[in-house]
Amino acid sequence: MIAEVITIGDELLRGEIIDSNKSYLSERLLEIDVHTRFHCSVLDDPADMTDAFLRAAERADVVLVSGGLGPTRDDLTIEVLAKTFGRELEQHEPSRVALRAFFDRVGREMSPSNEKQTYFPVGCEVLTNPVGTAPGCMLEGGGAVFFCMPGVPSELYRMMVEQVVPRVAARAGTVGSGFVRSAILRTFGIGESSLEDELKDIAQDEHVQLGFRTTFPDNFLRPVARGATEAEAAAHLEHACQAIEKRLGALIYGRDDESMEATIGRLLGERGETIAVAESCTGGMLGERITSVAGSSAWFLGGVQAYANRVKEQMLGVPASLLAEHGAVSEPVARAMAEGARARVGSTWALSTTGISGPDGGTEEKPVGTVWIACAGPEGTEAHEFVFPFDRQRNRQVTVQMAFDWLRRTLLEIPREVPRWLNLKDQDGR
């Protein structure tokens, strides 16, 4: 079974948008052992779209189309697809009702241009969109089956996983394809080429293909296992995951959707412990990340965004003398911030950050990227200095991940390890 992915939109061809939908869709297809052979993108232009549809029908068995389902004039996918394969359009009553209900729910008028989104080619199967106004559809044409989905990633992802993948898998099954199972192992603190070197033998397993993906500041591993049965594929996958986990140990912090903050939340929740934060250079990012996890009120109490020195003093009790003597970006201040947050909020643990994110504010002694992180807990407080080499936003992101990873290792009672790819002044071990 050959797959083609077509994405539609002028903005793609102008290069305004990095088109991540194509890789998303191909990844999901690969999980059911369907291989994408062609990617293409065309303008919101009926002639080019027609041409792309005809060509895809000729060379592929399944064609995923993303974009062009919106309410505006330049959203032409359904109309052009119908015309390409000689179908009339008719209004799909359940979609009209659902769309009207959607607008009622959000308290908006339904405009005539939205009405357009309820018309579909005769004979297609409409795919509902629970998170947006644009339903999708499945249509057979020219010997291939087309799946049209919205271009908005969150809508696309849901429609792909819930409605398209099962339909494609069912069709792929009929052509006798094998079963595929995959996982994501999330690592922090090791570079991609080191990962590749360490896992060379595992990557060459005949049943498992090992992919790598960098999602700053993490590196994700993606083992994809194949088998003649579902159970066989799952067994190959588990075997590979265990081998990788044994090799990498605590460098892996989570699996599949488990983010670093979810891992920490789970660990704290299991222990019935709580956390507070005291953030200077990260400005709120620690708390924002922790509270992105549903149910985080069970372990997150709160904290202080202590950006100005006055706030460090008044809200966290950092002595003015420490700030005067050592400066805000220093070990004593990082320690006092974490201890102040822990005491005032009354949590089991507290993390603090204070640093110079850049692009300005660096000195010879404390260059841009210098960050002190402290972790206060029942056994006392530890602090560590880092010098990160990235830009402002990345310095902040890696600071947060580093602080979380540190807490994770502390909770798991495994040694702290500083990322192998960081330029560090090791002030540790006292």
Q: Considering the complex, what minimum distance in angstroms separates the CB of residue 160 from a second copy?
A: 12
| Contact between 19 and a second copy per CB under 8 A | yes
332: left (phi over 0), alpha (psi -120 to 50) or beta: alpha
Q: Residue 57 or 277: which CB sits closer to a second copy?
A: 277
| Contact between 217 and a second copy per CB under 8 A | no
Q: Residues 342, 276: contact at Cβ < 8 Å?
A: yes
| Contact between 311 and a second copy per CB under 8 A | yes
Q: How far apart are the first and last CA of the chain?
A: 61
Applying CB under 8 A, among 128, 363, 393, 427 the residue interacting with a second copy is 393
Q: Considering the complex, what minimum distance in angstroms separates the CB of residue 351 from a second copy?
A: 12
Applying CB under 8 A, among 86, 228, 256, 294 the residue interacting with a second copy is 294
Map the footprint of a second copy across residues 112-131, applying CB under 8 A.
113-114, 131
Q: Residue 87 or 421: which CB sits closer to a second copy?
A: 421
Q: Considering the complex, what minimum distance in angstroms separates the CB of residue 230 from a second copy?
A: 19
Applying CB under 8 A, among 91, 214, 242, 427 the residue interacting with a second copy is 214
Map the footprint of a second copy across residues 352-371, applying CB under 8 A.
358-360
| Contact between 296 and a second copy per CB under 8 A | yes
Q: Name the DSSP letter for residue 423.
A: B
Give the interface segment with a second copy, choosing from 89-97, 186-194, 241-249, 251-259 (CB under 8 A).
Answer: 186-194
Q: Could you give the maximum distance between any two Cα atoms of the chain, in Å? A: 80
Beta strands in 49-143 (DSSP E): 62-66, 89-91, 119-121, 125-127, 136-141
| Contact between 248 and a second copy per CB under 8 A | no
Applying CB under 8 A, among 173, 178, 269, 302 the residue interacting with a second copy is 302
**Angle at which helices 260-271 and 392-412 pack, to 10 degrees?**
30
Report residue 364 as tokens.
């010879």
Give the interface segment with a second copy, choosing from 11-19, 82-90, 242-250, 371-379 (CB under 8 A).
Answer: 11-19
Q: Residue 271 or 310: which CB sits closer to a second copy?
A: 310
CB neighbour class for 175 (10 Å; exposed up to 12, middle 13-18, buried from 19): exposed
Give the interface segment with a second copy, choosing from 166-174, 187-195, 227-235, 407-415 (CB under 8 A).
Answer: 187-195
Q: Residues 200, 254: contact at Cβ < 8 Å?
A: no
Whole-number CA gyration radius for the chain: 26
The contacts of residue 245 (CB under 8 Å, 6+ apart) are: 185, 252
95: left (phi over 0), alpha (psi -120 to 50) or beta: alpha
Applying CB under 8 A, among 142, 178, 191, 367 the residue interacting with a second copy is 191
